[in-house]
């Protein structure tokens, strides 16, 4: 989170105004999903409290062994996510800070010729996706947040008491002499990430596993221009992704087992670049003409979590609190933004009809509309990782045949493209916005 976005929103008046009211919605977690929901709900006229523990200048949470200055983590946004961020009033600011369009995606395995090549013109779109910095998306969302949002930060939700008409929260201000205070809302939204305490306090289990892998994130400058191509190299240890970052640089997510990740994190830049070139394989080295420079690195643990359900009485889960996916297909936030869009739509319609926004019927609608997509994308992502992160000969042959088949069969490739770009979800977003079905 950035110092330039939050303090202006933390006026004493706003905190005081939030002290005794019953909010329509309280959101635990002001990461990307929680901040987007706060904007969407406030724009729909709902009263919103947003509770976020990170101090304005604390940066991102869970990276291990982050180097000084840390890398700017980036997110590949689908077309659907871009349009939704635009609708929230955040896209123009994200674009001003820098967005790299993805013109082509190449999927390959080191040592073999490129298997699948997806191009924007095959999908009939101006870009297959858009790469933007996490922090710039967050800054844009906080800047787009209506003043009516009551922000409690740095603070965290410590206890939850669901009642018949409202949920009572205990919120502790962090820092010296931080005292607990109370807050009531009709609906509590858990947007507090993978290890969601709110999810646990509401008795919802988060099932899944650790991948026993770390993703090393860094920027690199290749000798040859990347021309807007994103590369996904599947290796037995896990995928290695290169995403366009700006005209000259690529952002990498390099999946490695823990011990190797620690070694790579400790390398000097020259050794790091050589090790990366070696792992990416000869074909990549030829296409990029070698790697010249790299920036600071960070390593993120990869895990999979899926909440056993999306709701509890007067509680809804969104974003990583509902599902944490392997980033192989770049779907985590894209899925989270679809949670946000559908929940905000259900709440806005409940409010317009004069209904209680925390009523079971509203939560049931949210769950029914989101659960199939959440489960399908989780299965697709975990399946993709399981099939590719494996060196067994039969699987290797099967996936080689599968990829060759995909390249040769336009309908199959088009299906994959629509999933990857989020176009498959566009009708759902249109329906939510009242423009479609």
Q: How far is the CB of 31 from ligand FAD (least distance, A)?
A: 2
393, with CB counted inside 10 A (0-12, 13-18, 19+), is exposed
Residues 294, 320, 367, 425: which binds ligand FAD (CB under 6 A)?
320
Output the smallest distance, CB 282 to ligand FAD, in A.
Answer: 25
Q: Is the dihedral of CA 319, 243, 276, 264 positive or negative?
A: negative
CB count in 10 Å sphere of residue 371: 15
Shortest reach from residue 405's CB to ligand FAD, in Å: 26
Contacts of 343 (CB under 8 A, 6+ apart): 37, 189, 316, 318, 366, 370
Could you give the 3-state DSSP secondary structure of residue 396?
helix
Q: Give the contacts of 284 (CB within 8 A, at least 6 positions apart).
A: 108, 110, 231, 233, 242, 277
Six token digits for residue 104 = 């082509």
Q: Does 29 bind ligand FAD (CB under 6 A)?
A: yes
Closer residue to ligand FAD (CB): 6 or 54: 54
Minimal distance, residue 417 CB to ligand FAD, in Å = 16
Q: What is the DSSP string of 278-323?
A: HHH-HHHHHHHT-EEEE---EEEEEEEEEES-SEETTEEE-GGGTE
Q: Report if residue 215 touches ligand FAD, rule: CB under 6 A.
A: yes
The beta strand positions in 228-295, using DSSP E, are: 229-235, 238-244, 250-256, 291-294
Q: Counting contacts by CB under 6 A, is residue 389 touching ligand FAD?
A: no
Residues 62-121 that bind ligand FAD (CB under 6 A): 75-76
Check binding of 33 to ligand FAD (CB under 6 A): yes
Residues 253-292 binding ligand FAD (CB under 6 A) are 253
Rounded (5°) CA angle 320-304-28 = 20
Q: Is 332 in the site for ligand FAD (CB under 6 A)?
A: yes
When the beta carbons of 118 and 351 are compared against ligand FAD, the nearer one is 118
Does 358 participate in binding ligand FAD (rule CB under 6 A)?
no
Q: Which residues contact 267 (CB under 8 A, 6 or more apart)?
A: 275
The only residue of 56, 133, 319, 422 in contact with ligand FAD, by rule CB under 6 A: 319
Q: Collapse the DSSP code of 21 into the 3-class scheme (helix H, G, I; strand E, B; otherwise coil) and give the result.
A: coil
Q: How far is the CB of 7 from ligand FAD (least distance, A)?
A: 16
192 binds ligand FAD (CB under 6 A): yes
Window contacting ligand FAD (CB under 6 A); options: 64-72, 104-112, 190-198, 260-268: 190-198
CA distance 437 to 119: 29
Q: Could you say which of 18, 53, 56, 80 contacts ligand FAD (CB under 6 A)?
A: 53
CB-CB neighbours of 134 under 10 Å? 16
One residue of 6, 18, 25, 28 binding ligand FAD per CB under 6 A:
28
Residue ranges in 145-164 that form contacts with ligand FAD under rule CB under 6 A: 156-157
Scanning 220-228, 329-337, 352-360, 361-369 for contacts with ligand FAD by CB under 6 A, the matching segment is: 329-337
88 closest CA partner among 135, 130, 146: 146
Per 3-state DSSP, the chain is made up of helix, strand and coil in percentages (nearest 5) of 40, 30, 30
The reply on whether position 299 binds ligand FAD by CB under 6 A is: no
Which CB atom, from 156 or from 351, has the smaller least distance to ligand FAD?
Answer: 156
Q: Which residues bind ligand FAD (CB under 6 A)?
A: 28-34, 51-54, 61, 75-76, 156-157, 191-193, 197, 215, 217, 253, 300, 319-320, 327, 330-334, 336
């Amino acid at each position: 989170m950035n110092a330039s976005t939050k303090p202006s929103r933390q006026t004493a008046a706003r905190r005081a105004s939030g002290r005794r009211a019953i909010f329509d919605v309280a959101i635990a977690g002001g990461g990307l999903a929680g901040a987007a929901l706060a904007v969407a709900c406030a724009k729909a006229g709902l009263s919103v409290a947003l509770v976020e523990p990170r101090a304005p200048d604390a940066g991102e949470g869970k990276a291990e062994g982050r180097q000084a200055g840390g890398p700017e983590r980036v997110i590949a946004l689908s077309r659907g996510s871009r349009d939704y961020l635009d609708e929230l009033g955040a896209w123009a600011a994200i674009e001003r800070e820098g967005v790299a369009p993805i013109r082509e995606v190449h999927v390959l395995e080191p040592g073999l010729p490129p298997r699948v090549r997806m191009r924007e013109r095959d999908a009939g779109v101006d870009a297959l996706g858009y790469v933007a910095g996490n922090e710039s998306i967050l800054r844009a969302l906080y800047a787009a947040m209506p003043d009516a949002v009551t922000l409690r930060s740095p603070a965290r939700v410590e206890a939850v008491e669901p009642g018949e008409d409202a949920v009572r929260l205990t919120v502790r201000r962090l820092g010296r002499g931080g005292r607990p205070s109370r807050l009531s809302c009709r609906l509590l939204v858990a947007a507090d990430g993978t290890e969601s305490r709110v999810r646990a306090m509401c008795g919802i289990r988060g099932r899944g596993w650790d991948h026993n892998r770390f993703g090393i994130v860094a920027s690199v400058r290749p000798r040859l221009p990347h021309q807007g191509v994103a590369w996904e190299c599947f290796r037995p240890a896990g995928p290695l992704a290169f995403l366009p970052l700006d005209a000259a640089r690529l952002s990498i997510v390099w999946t490695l087992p823990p011990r190797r990740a620690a070694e790579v994190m400790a390398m000097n830049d020259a050794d790091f670049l050589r090790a990366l070139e070696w792992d990416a394989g000869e074909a990549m080295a030829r296409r990029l003409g070698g790697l010249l420079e790299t920036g600071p690195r960070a390593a993120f643990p990869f895990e999979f979590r899926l909440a056993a359900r999306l709701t509890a009485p007067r509680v809804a889960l969104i974003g990583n609190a509902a599902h944490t996916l392997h980033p192989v297909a770049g779907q985590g936030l894209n899925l989270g933004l679809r949670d946000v869009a559908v929940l905000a739509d259900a709440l806005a319609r409940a409010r317009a009809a004069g209904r209680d926004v925390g009523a079971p019927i509203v939560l049931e609608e949210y769950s029914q509309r989101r659960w199939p997509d959440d489960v399908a994308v989780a299965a697709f992502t975990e399946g993709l990782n399981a099939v590719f992160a494996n060196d067994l000969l039969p699987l290797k042959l099967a996936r080689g045949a599968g990829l060759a088949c995909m390249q040769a069969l336009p309908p199959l490739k088009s299906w994959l493209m629509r999933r990857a770009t989020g176009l498959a979800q566009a009708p759902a977003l249109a329906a939510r916005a009242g423009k479609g079905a």
